[in-house]
Amino acid sequence: MMTFPSHPPVRWSLSAIWVSSALLIFMALGVSSLVSWMVLLVSGIPPVVFLSLWNDGPPPTIAEVLRATEDHRWRKSD
């Protein structure tokens, strides 16, 4: 049986908070300002890296891997 992280929406919540605060700063600096566009562009990079590098939980145990390969062998031989 695969194990799942206890709080999967946490990373999306953190990224949403980050992006929301970046949008608020963008609006506060003025939409037509070059600085505000640079802030918006630069502040969008960390959530992308954060979501792509976040581990989805512990790796499968040896028992889970052996069970999966055994099940695969049995299905293949039928």
**Is the pLDDT assigned to residue 1 strictly greater than 50?**
no
Give per-residue pLDDT as tens, 55-72.
667 788 898 888 888 877
- In 49-63, which positions are buried (b, 16+ CB within 10 angstroms) versus exposed (e)? eeeeeeeeeeeeeee
Domain boundaries, the chain: 10-55
- Positions of E strands within 1-78: none
Give per-residue pLDDT as tens, 18-40.
888 888 888 888 877 788 788 77
**Which of 39, 38, 35, 47 minimizes the C-alpha distance to 11?**
47
